[in-house]
Amino acid sequence: MNKKLHIKKGDLVFVNAGNDKGKTGKVLEVITKKDRAIVEGVNMVSKHTKPNAKNPQGGIVKQEAGIHISNLQVVDPSTGAPTRIGRRLNDNGKLVRYAKKSGEEIK
C-alpha cells in the first residue's frame, strides 16, 4: 500500500497550525504510516538519553518530532508563499506535482 501524499522529503514547507504556526522548514523525513513528517527546526522536543557511544555523557537532547501533514503546506517556489498542491501530466506524459497558486511545477 503506497499512499500518495502532497509532501515529499526535501520539500520546503510552511506550518499552518500548532505551536510552531508560521514557521517554515525543510522536510527531513515522511512517515507515511502515521501521516506525519519531520521538519527541520519545527516541533522540537526534549529527549532524555542514556549515555551511549554517540553521546557518552547522556542527558537531555533537543530533537524534532513528527508533525501531522495536514498542518503543513508546500511553499511555492516562484512566490515563496504557501500553496495547495495538484497533480497533472507534463509534456512527457509523467505525473508531476504543481503549485495551485502559480501553476508552476514543483521539482
Read off the pTM.
0.84
Exposed/middle/buried for residue 51 (C-beta within 10 Å: 0-12, 13-18, 19+): exposed
Query: Tell me: the pLDDT tens digits for 14-67?
Result: 999 999 999 999 999 999 999 999 999 999 999 999 999 988 999 999 999 999
User: What's 32's DSSP letter?
Assistant: G
Q: What confidence tier does 107 reach under pLDDT thresholds 50, 70, 90?
A: confident
The CATH classification of domain 1-75, taken from the options 2.40.10.10, 1.10.10.10, 3.40.50.510, 2.30.30.30: 2.30.30.30
So where are the chain's domains? 1-75, 78-107
Exposed/middle/buried for residue 1 (C-beta within 10 Å: 0-12, 13-18, 19+): exposed
pLDDT value of residue 17: 95
pLDDT value of residue 1: 56
In whole angstroms, give the CA distance from residue 4 to residue 21: 24
